């Protein structure tokens, strides 16, 4: 089977396990949501053709494992990334506290020419759980402002809230950074250890 190359925009989605990264991507690309939680092993990606500034582009969204044991393997997946999406769970303060660690590790492994201006978008997911939100808006805004005014959206993969708007911002930022390089598109899912993949009933919305 021959491989193919195609001009595209590449974005990476990062965050702790269970914050809803996969659910966000599936809602955006496939308009699907499942209450069944299935941990991502290694990395996978989804594609969506969109319009950016009047041009048709392929947005390649890389979904990565949130477990700590996979952090050091990120560099292979981050290569040629033009935007990074940081996701936390609005009902889980710890998942917000680790956002800066994810950001720092990403920049360290990608090693962009200008780290301070590399585009990020932060998504506070599960905003549909209004009575359970534990991360203050002020704390989020202060962090975003301290990191070169990172764009921030409250989202719900379950209710499809702010999904289109947030990924449109991702695409616009990636487009601005686009270097017009040819990026390899693998044919299959990247799985590090499929035997360890488990399924349970924990919600991931």
Take residue 76 and report the two structure tokens written for it.
């292979």
The answer to whether 114 touches 122, Cβ cutoff 8 Å, is no
Task: Please name the helix (run of DSSP H) or strand (run of DSSP E) that holds residue 60, with its range, or none.
Answer: strand 55-64
Q: Tell me, what's the pLDDT at 63?
A: 87
Mean residue pLDDT of the chain comes to: 81
pLDDT computed for residue 36 by the predictor: 54
Residue with the two structure tokens 């764009």: 151
Q: Of 93, 104, 110, 89, which Cα lies nearest the Cα of 10?
A: 110
Cβ–Cβ < 8 Å for 20, 126: yes
3: pLDDT strictly greater than 60: no
Q: Identify the residue with better confidence: 199 or 173.
A: 173
Q: Which residue has the higher pLDDT, 25 or 53?
A: 25
**Mean pLDDT, residues 86-101 taken together:** 97
- Length of the chain (residues): 205
Return the number of other C-beta atoms located less than 10 Å from residue 140's C-beta.
Answer: 19
Is the pLDDT confidence value at 97 over 60? yes
Instruction: List, for residues 104-148, the tens digit of each pLDDT value.
Output: 999 999 999 999 999 999 999 999 998 999 999 999 999 999 999
Q: Where do the structural domains in the chain lie, given as residue ranges?
A: 4-187
CA distance 99 to 163: 19
156 pairs with which residues across the strands? Answer: 161
Structural class in CATH, domain 4-187 = alpha beta
What pTM did the predictor assign? 0.80
- Determine contact, residues 62/12, Cβ cutoff 8 Å: yes
DSSP 8-state code for residue 133: -
Give strand pairing partners of 44: 63
């Amino acid at each position: 089977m021959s491989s193919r190359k195609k001009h595209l925009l590449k974005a990476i989605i990062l965050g702790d396990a269970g914050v809803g990264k996969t659910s966000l991507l599936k809602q955006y690309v496939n308009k699907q949501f499942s209450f069944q939680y299935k941990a991502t092993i290694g990395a996978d990606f989804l594609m969506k053709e969109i319009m950016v500034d009047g041009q048709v582009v392929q947005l390649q969204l890389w979904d990565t494992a949130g477990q700590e044991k996979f952090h050091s393997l990120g560099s292979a997946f981050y290569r040629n990334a033009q935007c990074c999406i940081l996701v936390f769970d609005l009902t889980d303060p710890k998942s917000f506290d680790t956002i800066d660690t994810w950001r720092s590790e990403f920049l360290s492994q990608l090693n962009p020419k200008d780290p301070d201006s590399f585009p990020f978008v932060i998504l506070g997911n599960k905003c549909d759980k209004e009575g359970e939100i534990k991360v203050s808006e002020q704390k989020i805004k202060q962090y975003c402002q301290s990191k070169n005014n990172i764009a921030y959206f409250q989202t719900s993969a379950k209710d499809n809230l702010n999904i289109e708007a947030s990924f449109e911002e991702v695409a616009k930022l990636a487009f601005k950074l686009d270097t017009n390089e040819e990026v390899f598109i693998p044919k299959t899912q990247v799985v590090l250890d499929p035997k360890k993949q488990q399924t349970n009933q924990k919600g991931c919305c």
